[in-house]
């Protein structure tokens, strides 16, 4: 028995053991703190090593595509040699063709703006040669213009400042087209107006001619010409889409005219609301006629003429083609940056010149979003898409 105050070796041992445990725990806590600190340091070093191991080839594909789409062809080819991943992205967005530029005609003055939708840059040119003229058509980098006061018509290249004058001609409408650059031997101009619903007057001219040639032709089907007609040269023929959607064809080599027995493209009723005629565009691509109908409240509808079945077929894709649509003339391009393919670019720039309004068939939406456009708000003769030279800097 142990009395009060008596020493117990066992308890003393227990207390001693406890002290040893506490002392050991203190030492362990210190070691644990050192271990945690070391682990954190090692974790940071691992993260830093991982960051060091990451390189430009690890960038997200969408970001790489955006970067590569702004490179010149030479820089794109250099980037494609870095690694397999860069090669696949670079070749996907490689620009073999140059985008069309949007040219603005001022209401006053002689300064003209040209907008590059790829680099989103605007250039300015002073062109006093165009004073008092109206825009008619563009192709292969050439403008066709008309001075109503003198009835003078002329070609003008805004990049070389070259002028080619044509015989005087009194234009009823600004609806006239030409087949190719006026410096080419096969260049021919074409314009049309209706005399009656069953008779049209077609006028043609070649650069170097002393006057225009005008011949009346009869229609098998009613064809009314107006300022809202669309013209395009395709497969050696001038194709003219009337306001109501009938397609007339003129062969300049054979001097023949006919209205095709192809019913007009079928659009929903709401596409024929106010100003609908201003939102219609036509172009050609590799021998196919494309017609684009727009509506302020709906996505555009694109039709292609099926020459075998002789009917308009609605298109769900442009197969990578980019269409540049403007009221007086439209163009098609292939091999543009990936973000521009399978899209229609309209002659309207938003956000203070930073973004061109376009429609993507891949995503079934306008860019910028909610940019369905009422073409009645826009003056149709104020701008046009034009082909720029490969090296524009030499013309500045």
pTM of the model: 0.76
Query: How many domains, in total, are found in the chain?
Result: 3
Q: What is the DSSP letter of 270?
A: G
Asked whether 170 and 193 are in contact (CB, 8 A), the reply is: no
Inside any domain, residue 308: yes
Inside any domain, residue 29: no
Q: Give yes or no: residues 256 and 136 share one domain.
A: yes
Q: Give yes or no: residues 281 and 249 share one domain.
A: no
Q: Give yes or no: residues 256 and 274 share one domain.
A: no
Q: Which of 243, 260, 277 is the last residue of a domain?
A: 260
Inside any domain, residue 158: yes
Q: Residue 74: which domain range?
A: 61-90
Q: Which of 238, 260, 282 is the last residue of a domain?
A: 260
Which of 180, 186, 183, 223 lies closest to 202 in space, CA to CA?
Answer: 223
Q: Give yes or no: residues 256 and 269 share one domain.
A: no
Q: Give yes or no: residues 346 and 326 share one domain.
A: yes
Q: Give yes or no: residues 247 and 278 share one domain.
A: no
Inside any domain, residue 373: yes
Inside any domain, residue 153: yes
Q: Give yes or no: residues 371 and 337 share one domain.
A: yes
Q: Give yes or no: residues 289 and 221 share one domain.
A: no
- Per-position pLDDT tens, the chain of length 396: 444 444 444 444 444 443 343 444 444 545 545 555 565 665 555 555 554 556 766 778 778 888 887 776 678 888 888 888 888 888 777 766 889 999 999 988 999 999 999 888 889 999 999 999 999 999 999 999 999 999 999 999 999 999 999 999 998 777 899 999 999 999 999 999 988 888 999 999 999 999 999 999 998 887 887 788 899 999 999 999 998 899 999 999 999 999 999 999 988 877 666 666 678 899 999 999 999 998 877 889 999 999 999 999 999 999 999 999 999 999 999 988 788 999 999 988 765 556 788 999 999 998 887 665 556 566 778 899 999 987 765 555
Q: Give yes or no: residues 72 and 137 share one domain.
A: no
Q: Give yes or no: residues 212 and 251 share one domain.
A: yes
Inside any domain, residue 8: no
Measured torsion, CA atoms of residues 208, 214, 215, 216, in degrees rounded to the nearest 10: 150
Determine whether 59 is exposed, middle or buried from the number of CB atoms within 10 Å of its CB (0-12, 13-18, 19+): middle
Inside any domain, residue 117: no
Structure tokens that stand for 256 in this block: 């023949």
- Cα–Cα distances (Å) from 81 to 56, 88, 104, 110, 112, in that order, read 13, 10, 39, 46, 40
Inside any domain, residue 200: yes
Structure tokens that stand for 34 in this block: 């050192």
- How far, in Å, CA of 292 to CA of 384, rounded? 16
CATH code assigned at 138 = 2.120.10.80
- How far, in Å, CA of 270 to CA of 275, rounded? 11
Q: Give yes or no: residues 305 and 203 share one domain.
A: no
- How far, in Å, CA of 29 to CA of 247, rounded? 90
Q: Give yes or no: residues 84 and 143 share one domain.
A: no
Contacts of 184 (CB under 8 A, 6+ apart): none
Contacts of 225 (CB under 8 A, 6+ apart): 173, 175, 192, 193, 194, 200, 240, 242
Q: Which of 232, 260, 288 is the last residue of a domain?
A: 260
């Amino acid at each position: 028995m142990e009395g009060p105050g008596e020493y117990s070796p066992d308890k003393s041992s227990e207390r001693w053991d406890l002290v040893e445990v506490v002392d050991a725990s203190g030492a362990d806590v210190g070691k644990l703190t050192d271990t945690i600190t070391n682990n954190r340091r090692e974790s940071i070093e691992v993260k830093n090593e991982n960051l060091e191991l990451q390189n430009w080839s690890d960038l997200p594909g969408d970001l790489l595509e955006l970067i590569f789409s702004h490179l010149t062809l030479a820089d794109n080819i250099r980037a494609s040699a870095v690694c397999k991943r860069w090669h696949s992205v670079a070749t996907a967005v490689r620009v073999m063709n140059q985008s069309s530029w949007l040219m603005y005609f001022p209401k006053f003055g002689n300064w003209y703006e040209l907008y590059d939708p790829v680099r989103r840059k605007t250039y300015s040119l002073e062109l006093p040669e165009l004073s008092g003229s109206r825009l008619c058509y563009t192709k292969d980098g050439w403008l066709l213009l008309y001075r109503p006061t003198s009835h003078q018509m002329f070609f003008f290249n805004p990049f070389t400042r070259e002028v080619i004058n044509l015989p005087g001609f009194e234009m009823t409408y600004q609806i006239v087209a030409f087949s190719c650059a006026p410096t080419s031997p096969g260049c021919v101009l074409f314009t049309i107006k209706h005399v009656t619903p069953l008779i049209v007057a077609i006028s043609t001219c070649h650069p170097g001619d002393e006057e225009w040639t005008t011949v009346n032709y009869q229609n098998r089907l009613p064809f009314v010409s107006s300022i809202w007609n669309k013209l395009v040269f395709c497969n050696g023929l001038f194709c003219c889409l009337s306001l109501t959607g009938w397609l007339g064809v003129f062969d300049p080599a054979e001097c023949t005219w006919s209205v095709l027995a192809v019913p007009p493209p079928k659009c929903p009723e709401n596409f024929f609301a106010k100003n609908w005629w201003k939102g219609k565009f036509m172009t050609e691509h590799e021998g196919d006629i494309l017609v684009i109908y727009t509506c302020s409240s709906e996505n555009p509808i694109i039709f292609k003429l099926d020459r075998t079945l002789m009917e308009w077929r609605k298109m769900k894709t442009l197969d990578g083609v980019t269409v540049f649509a403007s009221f007086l003339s439209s163009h098609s391009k292939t091999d543009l940056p990936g973000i521009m393919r399978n899209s229609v670019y309209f002659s309207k720039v938003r956000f203070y010149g930073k973004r061109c309004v376009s429609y993507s068939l891949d995503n079934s939406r306008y860019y910028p979003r909610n940019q369905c456009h009422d073409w009645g708000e826009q003056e149709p003769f104020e701008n046009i898409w034009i082909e720029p030279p490969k090296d524009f800097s030499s013309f500045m």
